Amino acid sequence: KNRVREHTFYRNKLYYESKVKPYFGNRKITEIKTIDLERWQNNFISKNYKKNTIQKYRSVFFSILN
């Protein structure tokens, strides 16, 4: 059984709602291309987000695929 702690779930949900969903909107996962993901990440880089923060957001994004 694959489980995450409640705190982790809510933190990841917050990241999704505030960082992933606003950028990609209601697009289907199959419609998101590699270039879209790169542009999304570059958006954070241009705003001087730290590398580890961007990696957390990427992790949340990719957890959707699993």
Question: Is 5 within 8 Å of 46 (Cβ atoms)?
Answer: no
The Cα 66–Cα 51 span in angstroms is 23
At 59 the pLDDT is 93
Q: Alpha helices, DSSP H only, in the chain?
A: 6-15, 21-24, 34-46, 51-65
Using CA of residue 8, residue 11, residue 16, residue 17, what is the dihedral sign? Answer: positive
pLDDT the model gives residue 2: 65
Instruction: Give the pLDDT of residue 20.
Output: 94
Q: Which residues of the chain have pLDDT under 70?
A: 1-2
What pLDDT shows up at residue 65?
Answer: 79
For residue range 49-58, list pLDDT tens digits in order: 999 999 999 9
